[in-house]
Structure 1
Amino acid sequence: MQETLWTLMLSAAFFCATMSMTPGPNNILLAQSGANYGIKRSLPHILGIRAGQTCLHISVLLGLGSLFDIWPMFHHVLKMLSIGYLLYLAYRISTAAVSDDPAAQESKPMTLKEAALFQLINPKSWMATITLCSAFTVTGEAYWLSGLLGMIVFNLVGFPASFTWVLLGSTIRRQLNSARRRSHFNWSMGFLLLLTIPLIVK
């Protein structure tokens, strides 16, 4: 059983890496944050994602994921909330005030609380968590142990993956040495965020 569990967690790690590293709403927002605010000011955003994902993970382990089967409308409500919030974020990013001095920008990075709450309406987070809890847990007495290990694996893989996107944005920041360039970058990030909406509608 122990050998099977560790093999399962290794597979879970590959799954988590795929879900955490591929482009999606979280990673686009992290890259935008890294470019506009730097690594240090983006850390609460990363921690918020992990906190929200962990709360979601616990909820799914407790059976919340079954709501999609019991009440299919819940899925549609979640999609509508997610689309509405993504439209708001795309607008907020695209119209953020910029200046020639990055330190003088009035806009602020996403807070820990905002990032955590976003996970509750982020379909990609739900899909990843439900898949992780259904495909990478074992039944019986070892259910909670496998669920806890899966949660740890997701955070161990997810944090550096998120940090990589912030680092990527921070690297781009060096090229955004004028208000015009930062404005163009923000519009590009807002547009990329809009491109994730069709994936949600499917």
Structure 2
Amino acid sequence: MSVAVLPFLAFGASQVGTPGPANMVLLATGARFGLRRALPFVAGVAFGKQLIIWPLGLGLMAVQDDYRFVFEVLKWISVAYILYLAYRVAGLRLKVGEAMGTPPGFFAGLIVHPLNPKAWAMITTGFTTFVSTGTPPLQATATIAICLLGLQIVLHPIWTYAGQRVATALAGKPAEKYLMWTLAALTVASVIYALFAGGTS
């Protein structure tokens, strides 16, 4: 009765570290405001996944079949939110960490993963694939929560810093708008993949 920690860490790294709605938003935020100014937002994104992990691990999945309509509505609300983020990303222009205005803060980041259908899919897969039958819910949930938080603390700033570096190279150049359109398109594609092709990131 346990969690397969090493296999789950490998799975989690492959998901947290690859393109998805959250990472595209982090990339765009880093490009717009730079890593230092974006850190509160990055922290919010990392801790926001905990708002999914604990309810799922402590029993939400047990009632999913009884409230399928509610879960379906939540899924499409999530899709609409991610598409809205993609629309915002497409219109952003890079300022090499000196953008006017206030960067998104901790609480803005906190809601990214709860409204990200790919995050729900990844966490559900973690519980159904890497947790042995009979493992106490608290043990399983805490293990998965700690593993994912550790991965996010390492990988989310990398995505944000990558955005800053891209901004340094492309800000004010003709390729700038095409980059932002590409990031927006990747965000939309990642959601479509998660919904219709069985993606789990």
- TM-score tier by shorter-chain length is 0.7 to 0.9
For each residue in 1:131-181, what CA deviation from the matched residue of structure 2 results, as whole angstroms up to 9, or x when unmatched? Answer: 222333344464422321221111111221212211221221221232655
Unaligned 5+ segments in structure 1 are none
**Alignment of structure 1 residues 36-115 onto 2, 5 Å:** 36-96=32-92, 98=93, 102=96, 105-115=99-109
Q: Could you tell me how far 1:41 is from its partner in structure 2?
A: 1.7
For each residue in 1:171-201, what CA deviation from the matched residue of structure 2 results, as whole angstroms up to 9, or x when unmatched? Answer: 2122123265544432332222222342244
Q: Tell me which residue corresponds to 2:167.
A: 173
State how many pairs are aligned. 196
Q: Which amino acid aligns with 1:129?
A: I
Q: Kindly tell me: are residues 78 and 181 of structure 1, through their superposed partners in 2, closer, same or farther at Cα, counting changes over 3 Å?
A: same
Q: Kindly tell me: are residues 65 and 51 of structure 1, through their superposed partners in 2, closer, same or farther at Cα, counting changes over 3 Å?
A: same
Q: Kindly tell me: are residues 28 and 34 of structure 1, through their superposed partners in 2, closer, same or farther at Cα, counting changes over 3 Å?
A: same
Q: Tell me which residue corresponds to 2:128.
A: 134
Q: Which of the two has greater helix per residue? A: 1
Q: Could you tell me how far 1:121 is from its partner in structure 2?
A: 2.0
Identity of aligned residues (%): 24
Q: Which amino acid aligns with 1:34?
A: G
Q: Tell me which residue corresponds to 2:22.
A: 26
Q: Could you tell me how far 1:107 is from its partner in structure 2?
A: 4.9
Structure of higher CA gyration radius: 1
Where 2:41 maps in the other structure, the secondary structure is helix
Q: Which amino acid aligns with 1:118?
A: V
Q: Kindly tell me: are residues 149 and 201 of structure 1, through their superposed partners in 2, closer, same or farther at Cα, counting changes over 3 Å?
A: closer
Aligned CA RMSD, in angstroms, stands at 2.5
Q: TM-score, normalised by structure 1?
A: 0.83
Q: Which amino acid aligns with 1:30?
A: L
Q: TM-score, normalised by structure 2?
A: 0.83
Q: Which among 11, 14, 21 is matched to residue 10 of structure 2?
A: 14
Where 2:169 maps in the other structure, the secondary structure is coil
Q: Distance in 2 between matches of 1:133 and 1:197?
A: 21
Q: Distance in 1 between matches of 2:7 and 2:96?
A: 42
Q: Distance in 2 between matches of 1:141 and 1:82?
A: 30
Q: Which amino acid aligns with 1:120?
A: P
For each residue in 1:49-76, what CA deviation from the matched residue of structure 2 results, as whole angstroms up to 9, or x when unmatched? Answer: 2211112111111211234322222332
Determine if contact 2:96/2:164 at 8 Å carries over to the other structure.
Answer: no
Q: Kindly tell me: are residues 65 and 179 of structure 1, through their superposed partners in 2, closer, same or farther at Cα, counting changes over 3 Å?
A: farther
Determine if contact 2:46/2:153 at 8 Å carries over to the other structure.
Answer: yes
